[in-house]
Chain A
Amino acid sequence: MGAHLIEMRNISKRFPGVRALQDVNFTIEEGEVVCLLGENGAGKSTLMKILTGVYQQDSGVIFFQGEELDVASTRDAYKRGINIIFQEFNLCPNLSAMENIFLGNENRTRQGLFSHKETRKKALALFEKLDIDIEADIPVCKLSVAKQQMVEIAKALSYDTKVLIMDEPTSALTMKEIDTLFTIIRCLKERGVAVIFISHKLEEVLAISDRIVVLRDGENCGDILAKDATENTLVSLMVGREMAGFYTKRMMQPSEEILLEARGITGGSKIRDVSFSIRKGEVLGLAGLVGAGRNALVKLLIGADRKSAGQIFMHGQEIQIQSPKDAVKHRIAYLPEDRKCAGLVLPMTARENTTLCVHTKIQNRMGMISRRKENAITDAYIKELRIKVFSREQVTRTLSGGNQQKIVLAKALAVDPLLLILCEPTRGIDVGAKAEVHSIISALADKGMSILVISSELQEVLNLADRILVMHEGVITANLPIAEANQENVMRAAIGSA
């Protein structure tokens, strides 16, 4: 029997109080693309962190090209040719693409100085090999997210990489950029590089991988060839049950009453004279490509950024929103795109995060916090949103992505909002949690809450919204009732050719 490129056998790992992995097996061959699939908390990241030496397994062995492998550190893993690209990039934003690629592995002149010439030559050679087009000289923070990711890939390949692990590489990319990424992955495959691909997007998983390994609750629960798999079989493997419908349908129609109207919103470098309105109980989808200005618009709306012009009317009366504080006062709640940077205070507990917006509701006249009221609010949302926590005192840093997202949602809902603004509400969370978030959104709208949803997943917007606004280059290019909207006309408006 020929040896596998990598074989992980009976890997187990416990964290205090938590069983992360139990006898997990995983193999990959040269030139194979394997997708690792599972809900958040299923153990995918832990398994990959063991492979790259971030964690040590409690038991089990790893074989690399038939030999037992002992990876003590990430540096060790690099040297063996095992490389990982994390969801959050590890680039120095102020350095150029070529400097980033050779960081820690610099080309030196004979005098020991940094060799610009050599570095450039090698970087360009790498870009050519990958058939990508990147400005090698400007700081990477000026590159698009997709290009930054390509820099990461090039960096990984500047080492003699045999196994490349990509943790949710597509979550911040547009459809076109995903296509480019897939071309690169196929190119790597031809060169014999094994690619381990972690993603939640089933469509992509089926499109790119040869084989799919499914984990659930830290155990293997499926290993199937991509050509034999369908979205439904994968979903049921991941959650351990057949999911009825992916999306819940709305019970109620939005009312005719207009809740909020924005007129001529202008601000920042992008948003020019944007006007729209949202009705009571309406789910309004805001579609567009990454960089179209959807998030910028929302930030102007809630006062997080200063608008240079524009008016906001609520129930027909003009309201002043100069800061997020004003937004909360007018019962506009906001769930930011990036839950770790902008949503949660990670070192604080579930309780402290849930009540962050509503200190006025939990304090007495002396400014003292009533723990009783605070607990009641938190417990209510933990129950309502089915948040999995040890107790309300669990620090949010230790929660899985889906549960973190639910805490941010709980925080927003605690405001008892009339308008709830959700930016990428399901980014980076697993299918199970995603379906739950979707049904929560529908239920809230049925109760009369107006909801503005931004999502880069077009299918999500199409399924959730009653009406879709499409943005392109800072202006609204389409306003489509759901009955008239489809992938095609939304996409056309998004690229500005409507």
Chain B
Amino acid sequence: MVHEEKILTSKAEHTFSVSSSIQRIFRQRESAIFLALVAIMVVITIVAPQFATSGNIYRVSRQISLVAIASLGVFTVILTGGIDLSLGSTIGLSGVTCGMAMAAGVHPLLAILLGMVTGFSVGIINGLLVSYVGITPFIVTLGMLSIARGSIWIVTKGWPVENIDDRILVLGQGDLLGIPVPVVIMFAVALAIHFLMRFTVFGRRVYAIGGNEEATRLSGIDVQKIKCLAYGISGLLASVTGIILVARFSSAQTSSGEGWELDAIAAAVIGGTSLAGGAGSVVGVLIGAAIMGVIRNGLVLMRVSAYWQTSIMGLIVILAAVIDRVKNRKVA
């Protein structure tokens, strides 16, 4: 809807520029969810003081980082207005590929590369089907969820891959200056995605497609290529999570990544990424993943039954969507 408005005097413009930077920080959605994260952490600490111990924080942050990396991938896809439900299976498939390569004696660096190529390829296949064949992302990636998971069972016959090269274990189990390596990787990935989305033409086009695909296409932008690459990024980052998981458990489990699409998508949504596309930020996704991880950990510490935990996590996702909806209604 066009707002019928008249821009006021230069006075308004002046105040706008002076306080704009401070206002912008507070107006941004990220600060609201960051406050929510802090509040949740305070509550959990009061109820279960062992939350705030350094050992627990170490473990929670490592858990968060695994979801966050996959979430940053699906975030790119969601920005274009799409979705990637296959990322959980991609996590598993890339891990198994990497693990089997090592078990066969391939150099670990090459094995990691193979795992990442697998993830990227799965993503690109999704992307090709979505943008060039024109199938709904939901259907394509739902099908791929089964195909990739099935492939794991086919190649492993259901057995986990052991015999993991010791040299890669540092990726999942090591730490750097007291920070778990997966967390370091997460920050590196987050920086890269942030840079890609905010400062490059590719990122601008991703946001533009999510904002108005038709206008973007008519502006002479190769929408199909950009969308295809976004799915590729999602697959690639899922594979990063998958490989870290292999290193973390010293084995490639066939069930690795199962159901992670829910957590990854939820983290993005809680972090303010619009499922309609075109809106969201890397910082938001990280905070969203942190909220998910902290609550999950808090429930464990508070000895909430595992049966309840799953339902509560789902509830939180819906709650986040409701809050988003109510907030948007006020703006519109």
- Asked whether B4 lies within 8 Å of A44 as measured between CB atoms, the reply is yes
- Asked whether A389 lies within 8 Å of B7 as measured between CB atoms, the reply is yes
Contact partner of B6 among A18, A326, A334, CB < 8 A?
A: A18
- Asked whether B208 lies within 8 Å of A17 as measured between CB atoms, the reply is no
Residues of B near A217 (CB, < 8 A) are 6
Q: On chain B, which size bracket covers the interface?
A: 20 to 34
- Asked whether A344 lies within 8 Å of B215 as measured between CB atoms, the reply is yes
Q: Does B177 contact A (CB under 8 A)?
A: no
How near does chain A come to B48, taking the closest CB pair, in angstroms? Answer: 41
Q: Does A325 contact B (CB under 8 A)?
A: yes
Interface residues of B in 192-210 (CB under 8 A from A): 199-202, 204-205, 207-208
B35-53, CB under 8 A of A: which get 1 and which 0? Answer: 0000000000000000000
- Asked whether A400 lies within 8 Å of B211 as measured between CB atoms, the reply is no
Residues of B near A327 (CB, < 8 A) are 220
* Complex Cα spacing A19 to B7, Å: 8
- Asked whether B212 lies within 8 Å of A344 as measured between CB atoms, the reply is yes
Interface residues of A in 405-451 (CB under 8 A from B): 411, 415
* Complex Cα spacing A363 to B221, Å: 14
How near does chain B come to A49, taking the closest CB pair, in angstroms? Answer: 9
Q: Does B12 contact A (CB under 8 A)?
A: yes
* Residue ID in chain A nearest B278 by CB atoms: A347
CB-CB under 8 A for A43 and B4, given A352-B208, A369-B204: yes
Residues of A near B202 (CB, < 8 A) are 367
Residues of B near A328 (CB, < 8 A) are 219-220
How near does chain B come to A356, taking the closest CB pair, in angstroms? Answer: 4
Contact partner of A390 among B7, B199, B211, CB < 8 A?
A: B7
Q: Does B2 contact A (CB under 8 A)?
A: yes
How near does chain B come to A245, taking the closest CB pair, in angstroms? Answer: 26
* Complex Cα spacing A18 to B212, Å: 27
Q: Does A218 contact B (CB under 8 A)?
A: yes
How near does chain A come to B212, taking the closest CB pair, in angstroms? Answer: 4
* Complex Cα spacing A213 to B220, Å: 43
Q: Does A359 contact B (CB under 8 A)?
A: yes
- Asked whether B12 lies within 8 Å of A347 as measured between CB atoms, the reply is no
* Complex Cα spacing A369 to B205, Å: 11
- Asked whether A390 lies within 8 Å of B13 as measured between CB atoms, the reply is yes
CB-CB under 8 A for A324 and B220, given A40-B4, A41-B4, A359-B205: yes
* Complex Cα spacing A363 to B200, Å: 8
A194-231, CB under 8 A of B: which get 1 and which 0? Answer: 00000000000000000000000110000000000000
Q: Does A169 contact B (CB under 8 A)?
A: no
CB-CB under 8 A for A398 and B208, given A324-B218, A367-B201: no
* Residue ID in chain A nearest B202 by CB atoms: A367
Interface residues of A in 311-369 (CB under 8 A from B): 323-329, 334, 336, 341-348, 352, 356-357, 359, 362-363, 366-369
Q: Does B5 contact A (CB under 8 A)?
A: yes
How near does chain A come to B22, taking the closest CB pair, in angstroms? Answer: 16
- Asked whether A345 lies within 8 Å of B278 as measured between CB atoms, the reply is yes
Q: On chain A, which size bracket covers the interface?
A: 35 or more
* Complex Cα spacing A294 to B17, Å: 45
Q: Does A401 contact B (CB under 8 A)?
A: yes
* Complex Cα spacing A399 to B6, Å: 9
Among B200, B215, B220, the most chain A Cβ lie within 10 Å of the Cβ of B220
Residues of B near A415 (CB, < 8 A) are 220
* Residue ID in chain A nearest B221 by CB atoms: A325
Q: Does A20 contact B (CB under 8 A)?
A: yes
* Residue ID in chain B nearest A345 by CB atoms: B211
Interface residues of B in 11-35 (CB under 8 A from A): 12-13, 16-17
How near does chain B come to A181, taking the closest CB pair, in angstroms? Answer: 22
Residues of A near B212 (CB, < 8 A) are 341-342, 344-346
Q: Does A46 contact B (CB under 8 A)?
A: yes
Among B2, B4, B5, B13, the most chain A Cβ lie within 10 Å of the Cβ of B4
How near does chain A come to B191, taking the closest CB pair, in angstroms? Answer: 14
Q: Does A45 contact B (CB under 8 A)?
A: yes
Residues of A near B221 (CB, < 8 A) are 324-325, 356-357, 359
- Asked whether A19 lies within 8 Å of B8 as measured between CB atoms, the reply is yes
Q: Does A404 contact B (CB under 8 A)?
A: yes
- Asked whether A347 lies within 8 Å of B5 as measured between CB atoms, the reply is no
How near does chain B come to A121, taking the closest CB pair, in angstroms? Answer: 36
Residues of B near A43 (CB, < 8 A) are 4, 6
How near does chain B come to A429, taking the closest CB pair, in angstroms? Answer: 10
Residues of B near A46 (CB, < 8 A) are 4
Residues of B near A18 (CB, < 8 A) are 5-8
- Asked whether B219 lies within 8 Å of A368 as measured between CB atoms, the reply is no
* Residue ID in chain B nearest A414 by CB atoms: B219
- Asked whether A218 lies within 8 Å of B6 as measured between CB atoms, the reply is yes
CB-CB under 8 A for A325 and B2, given A345-B212, A367-B202: no
Residues of A near B12 (CB, < 8 A) are 17
Q: Does B325 contact A (CB under 8 A)?
A: no
A37-55, CB under 8 A of B: which get 1 and which 0? Answer: 0001111111000000000
- Asked whether B218 lies within 8 Å of A348 as measured between CB atoms, the reply is no
* Residue ID in chain A nearest B200 by CB atoms: A367
CB pairs A–B below 8 angstroms (19 shown): A18-B6, A18-B7, A20-B6, A41-B4, A41-B5, A44-B4, A302-B218, A323-B222, A324-B221, A325-B220, A325-B221, A336-B215, A344-B215, A346-B212, A356-B219, A356-B221, A362-B201, A390-B7, A397-B3
8 additional contacts (CB under 8 A) given A17-B12, A329-B220, A366-B200: A15-B5, A43-B4, A217-B6, A304-B218, A345-B278, A356-B216, A367-B201, A398-B3
**10 A-B pairs closest in CB distance:** A328-B220, A345-B211, A18-B5, A345-B212, A359-B201, A356-B219, A325-B220, A357-B219, A45-B4, A367-B200
